[in-house]
A and B are shown apart, each in its own frame.
Chain A
């Protein structure tokens, strides 16, 4: 009898324990299980490059300025700032209650240290260029100058003075980037490379790093020392990488994830039918384009480039290949940047059928027909959707007398080939905004840019870009200049823009404060959960 009872008790206890694994106790903290499509690479702000790191770091740290739930610039570690009349000297007033998670104050010296560290060649920071607008920063990073000469100075404990090379109207936008976040000097001095480990990492944001099991989860817990901790409603944020997007949707459906920052886009229509407004799709600051060798025959002919670009049916690509998870794109700068009007290709409003006729005429004039086709190779990096896009374009161009061959390589091979200016015709590329400014999209077509995969070299474009830079102090003027530069770029077919990216998230109705925005930025500190 006793034995039976014992058995029953053990059985009941086992049941209770295993049931506990499924349901959180009622009194527990508010936990947000935040699904992401990939694992962050590093949580050292100065060694990061991907948006997955940006999302986690935005919760851990506070830069001088931050982004609110709509991705607008708001005060961060700095409570206010002034800009000199010539637009080159920024004076930041740090908040007096700003604190590191170890209880020490966040000072102007911390920012001086962090900015120096970002530019120090020994750090090997991929995003060191985020602070290149600062006087002397690029020189330090390229070993041509000394950190002492950098335009960053602590006037007193809470006053930071930053001097720029030239007026840079998007400087504050750049400061929202995670590479410009401060790091704790005391902690790095003490722990060396280990400072970034879970449980040791000292941060100054709404959360601290409790655990990181690679490819499993990153656990952040609310930082009681955060200056605005009273308004933070989520106690624990678990970042859960789930690479397989179909699995992620099932995990969302089963309640294992409260949100997920990607979708299996090939099922978008079905998902929208099933999940309704839990699916969030909207314009995201990114452009999907083809680079085309503008310095190599026959692609050095603007007319020919224009004919190819014109003939591509972007509506078909967006609707059929990408299931409307992308939008047809006719400019390098996507829509959505306040005060800027993208310069669309002139044929953007023409019906597709007329565009094809026009393209055919041009190609015929240049001697290309289905009998004597133009040969064109499209290189793309491995991805089902990149392949389908290229195949669709291959089919679209065939009747016009363009014989397209496809060449697929893995991502590293693809980009190293482009970087080394390999001998290609057309190559897939994409650009996602690091900060909200047209500069980020247009700068990559400048002659000197390492990302100028089309080898675009146009004096008018360079002049217009220089003019925009010189107009730094006058934002309206500058936007107009940039738009003119883009007009030159688009009319000369410096690239073939195909699609604008969209963000696509799935978000539980239990979450509040997950507000749609073109940067797809959703700081956990503004989110609450029922």
Chain B
């Protein structure tokens, strides 16, 4: 198993290298550069700016330079926030996005699994229908609708939560963003769980368990759940990578200083180094979580073995 993990991590290096290379050249294909704006700059001033960031070197020189710095853990300066390096921006923003994303993920997994199980046990009954209705609503109402409603109801009408801001990480400031992030995920998990639980409840080993006279609780929790949870595990990998790296919509509406906004803003601003930083971070998160999922498979399903 350890050998397997080691091998997987080793193959991640060439994967990352390919991703970095592709991203580096792709963003340069986009028209315009970091210093194009409404107020045009004179060619001399633009040249001064580009020289300052080494953008006047041939592209391959810039690429080698970037790779060299990256190998030393240096992501370079941000062009649009030049008082900060990309590393500093991530050091400040990533923990915030991870906190919100992880909370939302845990909430979604717990609540979604619970709702899905309840629905499966009450298949085609009122409980099932209400969960399905909720799940459909949850996954179809976009976050840019949910977020302002939460602000309006909990922030303005009831004055229970702040409208926005991080508030140095105060608990109340996290509730709105976490709920908004979690709601659609709860819906997805609930639907997945319902489906796989129904399937699991109909399988042979559950019939055997029931025939042996095990209690309902024991059948569901000890036996059915284990089989039913596999689709959730595979869902969790990409979902975690996406949630933990922030959401531009949630961060913009709730004015949260996370990194989710950089994915879009950096590309629109042609902030090349910040784009590269976000690509590397997402790639690492995706690789790591896919690995975790594969390991989890082996833990949950004894038939899976990595030798």
Contacts and interface: CB of A to CB of B under 8 A. Distances in A.
Given A256-B164, A412-B269, A126 B81 contact: no
Interface stretch (B16-24, B149-157, B209-217, B219-227): B149-157
B36 A21 contact: no
Contacts of A141: 44-45, 48
A216 B257 contact: yes
Interface string A416-445: 111100000000011110000000000000
B37 A49 contact: yes
Given A42-B83, A141-B44, A250-B163, A411 B51 contact: no
A128 interface: yes
Q: Interface size for chain A: under 10, 10 to 19, 20 to 34, or 35 or more residues? A: 35 or more
B254 A247 contact: yes
A39 interface: yes
Interface in B93-149: 93, 148
Nearest to A128: B45
Contacts of A244: 252-253, 255
Interface stretch (A93-101, A164-172, A235-243, A359-367): A235-243
B255 A416 contact: no
Contacts of A413: 30-32
Interface in B258-295: 258, 261, 268-270
A419 B80 CA distance: 19
B126 to A, nearest CB: 37
A242 B254 CA distance: 8
A216 B164 CA distance: 10
B81 A41 contact: yes
A197 interface: yes
Interface string B54-90: 0000000000000000000000000011111000010
Nearest to B85: A193
Interface stretch (B4-12, B166-174, B228-236): B166-174
Contacts of B204: none
A215 B48 contact: no
A126 B255 contact: no
Contacts of A451: 39-40
A430 B40 CA distance: 11
* Among B83, B84, B89: residue with most chain A CB under 10 A: B83
A123 B40 CA distance: 18
Interface string B24-40: 00000011111111111
B172 A21 contact: yes
A12 interface: no
Given A42-B81, A42-B82, A213 B257 contact: yes
Contacts of A415: 32, 36-38, 40
B195 interface: no
A122 interface: yes
A412 B44 contact: no
A41 B77 CA distance: 12
A450 B83 contact: no
Contact of A254 (B32, B38, B148, B156): B156
Contacts of B270: 412
B32 A124 contact: no
Contacts of A123: 48, 52
A507 to B, nearest CB: 18
Contacts of B30: 412-413
Given A44-B83, A412-B33, A451-B40, A254 B48 contact: no
Contact of B255 (A42, A242, A411, A419): A242
Contacts of B38: 411, 415, 429-432
Interface string A242-254: 1110110011011
A305 B124 CA distance: 69
B52 A122 contact: yes
Q: Interface size for chain B: under 10, 10 to 19, 20 to 34, or 35 or more residues? A: 35 or more
B165 interface: yes
A366 to B, nearest CB: 32
A309 B123 CA distance: 67
A464 B83 CA distance: 42
A71 to B, nearest CB: 19
Contact of A247 (B34, B92, B163, B261): B163
Contact of B82 (A47, A122, A251, A432): A47
Nearest to B254: A247
Interface in A208-248: 212-217, 240-244, 246-247
B224 to A, nearest CB: 38
A21 B168 CA distance: 11
A18 B268 contact: no
Nearest to A428: B38
Given A129-B42, A142-B44, A214-B92, A243 B255 contact: yes
A121 interface: yes
A214 B45 contact: no
A141 B33 CA distance: 21
Nearest to B88: A214
Given A141-B48, A214-B92, A411 B41 contact: no
* Among A142, A244, A409: residue with most chain B CB under 10 A: A244
B165 A216 contact: yes
B49 interface: yes
B43 interface: yes
A343 interface: no
Contacts of B48: 121-125, 128, 141
15 contacts: A44-B82, A123-B48, A124-B48, A125-B48, A126-B49, A214-B93, A244-B252, A250-B163, A254-B155, A410-B32, A411-B32, A411-B37, A411-B38, A414-B32, A416-B32
Sorted from nearest, which 6 A-B pairs have the closest CB atoms?
Answer: A412-B32, A416-B32, A124-B52, A216-B257, A215-B257, A416-B36
Interface of A: 18, 21, 39, 41-44, 47, 49, 121-126, 128-129, 141-143, 196-197, 212-217, 240-244, 246-247, 250-251, 253-254, 256, 409-419, 429-432, 450-451
Interface of B: 30-45, 48-49, 51-53, 80-84, 89, 92-93, 148, 151-152, 155-156, 159, 162-167, 170-172, 251-258, 261, 268-270
Given A41-B83, A124-B45, A126-B41, 7 more contacts: A41-B82, A124-B48, A124-B52, A215-B255, A254-B156, A416-B31, A429-B38
